[in-house]
Chains A and B, each alone.
Chain A
Amino acid sequence: MENKKKILSQPVKHSDKIAKDIINVMMQKEQSGNVHFDEWIEDNPYATDSLNKLSDEKWLKDKMANYPQSNRDLGTEMLVSKIKRKKRNSLIKNITAIAAAVISISFLVYNYSSDGEQGADARVIVATQAPKVGLNYTEPILITTEGAIAKVNSQIAQMDKRVINLDEISQAAEQTNTTTMIDGREILVDKKYNRLVVPEAQTSSIELNDGTVVHLNANSELLFPENFDGESRNVILNGEGYFEVSKLGKPFIVQSGSVEIKVYGTEFNVNSYNIECVQTTLVEGSVAVMALGKKQMLNPSEQCVVDILDGSVSTEVVNTKRYTSWKDGVKVFEEDGLVYLLERLSQWYGVDFVLENNNYDELTFTTVIYNETKLEGVIKLIETLNVNIEFIKTERGGYVVK
Chain B
Amino acid sequence: MTSSIKHIKDYEDVEMRSLVEQVNRRDTCAFSVVYKMHYNSLYMYITEFFKGNNAEAFDIIQDVFMNIWDSKTIFESMAHIKDYLFLSVRNHSIKKYNSSKVKDKYNTHLLENPDYFISNMVEVEVVSLLHQMIDSAVTEECARVLRMYIEGKNIKEIATELGKKESTIYNQKNRGIEILKKKYSKSDLLPLLLVFLR
Contact = CB atoms under 8 A, between A and B. Distances in A.
Interface of A: 3-4, 6-8, 11-16, 18-20, 22-24, 26-29, 40, 43-47, 49-50, 53-54, 57, 60-61, 63-69, 71-73, 75-76, 78-80, 82-84, 86-87, 115, 117-120, 392, 394-396
Contacts of A20: 129
B31 A23 contact: no
B122 A15 contact: yes
A67 B83 contact: no
Given A71-B43, A79-B32, A19 B122 contact: yes
A18 B125 contact: yes
B83 A12 contact: yes
B147 interface: yes
A66 B131 CA distance: 11
Contacts of B121: 12, 15
A20 B133 CA distance: 12
Contact of A76 (B32, B115, B116): B32
10 contacts: A3-B114, A12-B121, A40-B122, A45-B115, A68-B47, A76-B35, A78-B62, A80-B31, A80-B32, A87-B28
Contacts of B35: 75-76, 79
B61 interface: yes
Interface string B109-142: 0001111111111110111111100000000110
B44 interface: yes
B170 interface: no
Interface string B72-83: 000000011011
Contacts of A3: 112-114
Nearest to A53: B123
A54 B126 contact: yes
Contacts of B161: 119-120
Contacts of B80: 11
Contacts of A79: 31-32, 35, 62, 65-66
Contact of A46 (B44, B116, B192, B196): B116
Nearest to B60: A395
A27 B119 CA distance: 19
Interface string B19-47: 00000000010011001100110011001
Contacts of A16: 125, 129
Is chain B's interface secondary structure helix, strand, loop, or mixed overall?
Answer: helix
Given A15-B121, A67-B147, A23 B189 contact: yes
A24 B188 CA distance: 8
Given A3-B112, A79-B31, A50 B192 contact: no
B151 A40 contact: no
A41 to B, nearest CB: 10
Contacts of A46: 113, 115-116, 118-120
Contacts of B44: 63, 66-68
A65 B54 CA distance: 14
Contacts of A40: 118-119, 122
A223 B82 CA distance: 47
A7 B122 contact: no
Contact of A63 (B55, B112, B127, B147): B127
Contacts of A45: 115
Contacts of A67: 40, 44, 127, 131, 147
Nearest to A4: B112
Contacts of B169: none
A12 B86 contact: yes
Given A75-B62, A80-B28, A115-B141, A69 B40 contact: yes
A363 to B, nearest CB: 20
Nearest to B152: A65
Contacts of B47: 66, 68
Contacts of B127: 60, 63-64, 67
Given A3-B112, A23-B126, A68-B44, A29 B188 contact: yes
Contacts of A18: 122, 125
A23 B121 CA distance: 14
A208 B71 CA distance: 44
A299 B126 CA distance: 65
B59 interface: yes
Closest 3 CB pairs of A and B: A19-B125, A7-B114, A27-B188
A394 B59 contact: yes
Contacts of A115: 140-141
A27 B184 CA distance: 13
Contacts of B115: 43-46
A68 B54 contact: yes
A66 B56 CA distance: 15
B28 A83 contact: yes
